[in-house]
Structure 1
Amino acid sequence: MDALRDEEKPLHIVMFPWLAFGHMIPYLELAKLIAQKGHQVTYISTPRNIERLPKLPPNIAPLINFVKLPMPKVDNLPQNAEATTDIPYDVVQHLKTAFDKLEQPLTEYLESSNVDWIFHDFLPFWLGPVASKLGIKCAFFTIFTAPFMGFLGPVSVLLGNDPGRTKPEDFTVAPSWVPFQTTVAYRYFEIMKIADILSNENSGGYSDIYRACCCMQNCETILIRGCTKFEPEWFQVLQNIHHKPVVPVGQLPSTGVDHSNGDDTWSWIREWLDKQPRSTVLYVAFGSEAKPSQEEVTKIAFGLEESKIPFFWVLRVQRGPTDNVVLQLPEGFEERTKGRGVVCTDWAPQVKIMGHMAVGGFLSHAGWTSVVEAVQNEKPLVLLTFLADQGINARVLEEKKMGYSVPRDERDGSFTSNSVAASIRLVMLEEEGRIYKEKIKEMKDLFVNTKLQDNYIDNLLNHLRRF
């Protein structure tokens, strides 16, 4: 642990992420890095979420305090549902309603504690005024990348005060405030799939865009998960459009992220992987948020079968116990691929799997934590996007030749099993796909360089102290 200088008073920073593991885990990684510098971090969430977080290393555990705020009860939110992974997509709006009800207990905690800064996510639009009244400074810490935030644009455009975007097609081209040539934009089917983020649907009465705009307007500084050496032009876009400090915190590579009770699971997975030749297995997983449709699962399954490539597929067949749509594999699929492929419908230790030498590629949704873990382990990417920022992430990876997207229909996003098989084989086996392996290796140092990551944290802490 790096010691504070004698004259430096340790900061007390509160972390308050959205109730999704794709948000909670990066927040925890940042908390660990800040604690290593000798500062006190209070990580606030609901009881079940905190219990499911990875265990802390003993050297920093005394500096990270977990505060469990009881999960508010709201209509139509199932019992024990405390994260997006626990519920179907259409129930997330009720989770956001419950999240908003954390305002009072969070305020009571802040009133009774000596807090310097609160790092918050894009949803608590009500938090800025509360913190300001208590003399606590706010940092909007977005787990989304600089290209995604830059593509979204200025608050004036997001709130509709500037007629920069009026129809879905406007999201399929680079916007006017991006002063360089880029292919980074949504495809039509991607923006149509997430049109609800622009409305009040699925957002507890307030659109995600409105929430994020309030958070950006009411914070002192914006923290971005990312690296200025990887995407310098996009960080400049953010400085230009927000007129307040935009501070990179690094890529936050996973440091042994594993849920409890994973040892038995890893034991049998490792045993299977140990039997496979080096770099031959395709790892398939789409994160904790994305759930493909039944038709998509069928096409993916047939594509894996046609590819003749060994595979390990982590398939979430439902989002929580109340999800009535349980995904099914094609009849006879597991028998036909027995020995060559494995389908795991439980939680699996992704970091350990991708670190195994038998794994040679990753069929992914382009969620950024998964991307960082792929780069960390030098696994080239085959991309199949579903939600949120994934389309923008995929364009960045395509531009930088770090990933290849499965060809899809521009209007409805449909794809064929043949295109899945061909994409897998291209990246895993063909000469044309060699570039993706090379680029992933080339980028590794930017993503997981401990000295570089350490510098980002030092710069962040210096910035916080100057306020």
Structure 2
Amino acid sequence: MADEQLHIAMVPWLAFGHMMPWLELAKLIAQKGHKISFISTPRNIDRLPKTPPHLSSAIHFIKVPLPQIEGLPPDAEATSDLPSNKVQYLKKALDLLQEPLTQLLASLDPDWVFSDFATYWVGSIAAKLGIKTVCFSICIAALLGFLGPSSVLIDGGYFEKPEDFTAPPKWVNFPTTVAYRYFDIKNTFDLVEGDVSGVNDPIRFGWWFRSCDVIAARSCSEFEPEWLRLLETNHGKPVFPVGQLPPTENETQDQADDDTWGSTKEWLDLHEKGTVVYVAFGSEAKPSQTQLTELALGVELSGLPFFWVLKTRRGSTDTELIELPPGFEERTKGRGVIWRGWVPQLKILAHDSVGGFLTHSGWSSVVEALMFERALIIFTFYADQGINASLLEEKKIGYRIPRNELDGSFTRDSVAESLKLVMVSEEGKIYRDKAKEMKPLFSDRIRQANYVDNFLSYLKTHKPAAKGTQQQEITNSSSWGGVALFDQHVKE
């Protein structure tokens, strides 16, 4: 019914690890008859998968040019376009979009706007316009609950140094081992020091939580119920799990994709069921040269067949190029494949010959692996990956390659032993069994639809009344915004 239709604006963070699950949620909502305005920068929108034809009239992509600032290359519009230490410039440029997005949201007049942590100021913009806000996180509830109440994130005083993240914080009111390893959080600290935007990630998360009306997490209550309850307790707001958002194959594949899959499938078909290790660290994570050397020699030492999607550079300004050890590809020819471009990851993981996934534990990769019952061997880099890995480890769903707790160093022997343990040994059977056990939570489309239906039911019954004159007043004003709100808080 027309009066039941919602109009939802979405403003995801400029990272494909965020935009892709946001797009999956957009498609699920559009399938229910609602309208989506998906807002991002021109180059990012052009790189997103094409919308299925039956949803093209319901999902509208709106391109907002990213301001050019010193330190940000002209072609850099996503985190994957930049070395890790340059992502701070992307946040600074994003913060300059407050005024354009104010005008855009006023003209779109959506019922709800979904914001991401980096666009923490969207909530205050929306409130002034009479639009309600959902904090939608692609991070699991365990990470969001671990971070604590918004007052802790904004005012500080608890998470001051890396060591503070290595044990469950005081507000976690149930037994758990979920916490960061020192080397994981130290790597993250090293990346955010000297943030040129002037607003660090904890403060962004804090104001993001504080300014929204509803929190939605990529999660399901069967998987992490205690963390979802903690999240609601921490913030005193409704919290909705929206499911794991398993991706769907794009319905319109071009010929290049078909050619890539054809040659890949031919190689996979040569191997027995469950024997191949798939190695990939997502669109952003890049090993150091030392890490790459040990990982490669460990994969070689394991004796297992492998398909490795290798990323050696992040954007045109990345000068720290990495290379495989001399002779590695020649020595493993036939047993392994090194692929340096895009691959159809879903199709690879779905292939019967793949038995395990050496992954950074980015949650999209975890979801895709567990959809197809693939056992997880984990090698983390930074950000949310440490908490993801800790939760998977606690639940015996993933096995972490042993590393030095302080500096994260490891050996080729530990890589080889970890791969063989998870892939073939009796000791590692629990990880293979757990991956199979998780499949219903991560691949059931009916279960996923039920989570979205429940969420939409709330959004429909709590959508705001007509906004009218209040919007016009805000459209004519520029003396406000999330950064202004942050500045005011600091002065107080």
TM-score norm. by structure 1 comes to 0.96
Per-residue CA distance 1:298-354 (angstroms, 9 max, x = gap): 000000110000000111010012211111000000000000011111121111111
SS at match of 1:381: strand
- The answer to whether the 8 Å contact 1:230/1:446 transfers is yes
Match of 2:281 among 282, 286, 299: 286
- Taking the aligned partners of 1:355 and 1:125, their CA distance within structure 2 comes to 37
The root-mean-square deviation of aligned C-alpha atoms, in Å, is 1.5
- Taking the aligned partners of 1:21 and 1:152, their CA distance within structure 2 comes to 23
- Taking the aligned partners of 1:203 and 1:271, their CA distance within structure 2 comes to 48
Match of 1:208 among 177, 180, 201: 201
Matched, 1:371 2:366: yes
Q: How much has 1:200 moved relative to structure 2? A: 5.9
Partner of 1:71: 66
Per-residue CA distance 1:212-263 (angstroms, 9 max, x = gap): 1111111001111100111111111111111111111100001115986422
- Taking the aligned partners of 2:233 and 2:424, their CA distance within structure 1 comes to 43
SS at match of 1:62: coil
Per-residue CA distance 1:100-145 (angstroms, 9 max, x = gap): 1222222221121221111010011322221111111111101100
Partner of 2:249: 256
Partner of 1:54: 49
The residue type equivalent to 1:441 in the other structure is K
Q: Unmatched 5+ residue regions in structure 1?
A: 1-5
The residue type equivalent to 1:348 in the other structure is V
The residue type equivalent to 1:289 in the other structure is E
- The answer to whether the 8 Å contact 2:401/2:414 transfers is yes
Partner of 2:138: 143
SS at match of 2:323: coil
- The answer to whether the 8 Å contact 2:71/2:89 transfers is yes
- 1:397-408 alignment, distance < 5 Å: 397-408=392-403
SS at match of 1:326: coil
Matched, 1:453 2:448: yes
Q: How much has 1:276 moved relative to structure 2? A: 1.6
Partner of 2:169: 175
Where relative contact order (Cα < 8 A, 6+ residues apart) is larger, the structure is: 2
SS at match of 1:339: coil
- The answer to whether the 8 Å contact 1:196/1:202 transfers is no
- Taking the aligned partners of 1:36 and 1:313, their CA distance within structure 2 comes to 35
Partner of 2:490: none
Question: How many residues are matched?
Answer: 460
- Taking the aligned partners of 2:161 and 2:69, their CA distance within structure 1 comes to 34
Q: How much has 1:363 moved relative to structure 2? A: 0.2
- The answer to whether the 8 Å contact 2:373/2:439 transfers is yes
Matched, 1:235 2:260: no
Q: How much has 1:372 moved relative to structure 2? A: 0.3
SS at match of 2:307: strand
- The answer to whether the 8 Å contact 2:179/2:390 transfers is yes
Q: Unmatched 5+ residue regions in structure 2?
A: 463-492
- Taking the aligned partners of 1:196 and 1:327, their CA distance within structure 2 comes to 20
TM-score norm. by structure 2 comes to 0.91
- Taking the aligned partners of 2:185 and 2:151, their CA distance within structure 1 comes to 20
Partner of 1:298: 293
- Taking the aligned partners of 2:283 and 2:370, their CA distance within structure 1 comes to 19
Task: Pick closer, same or farther for the CA change 1:395–1:257 going to 2, 3 Å.
Answer: farther
Per-residue CA distance 1:145-183 (angstroms, 9 max, x = gap): 00111111111222245x434432221111111111111
- The answer to whether the 8 Å contact 2:4/2:460 transfers is no
- Taking the aligned partners of 2:394 and 2:138, their CA distance within structure 1 comes to 21
SS at match of 2:430: helix
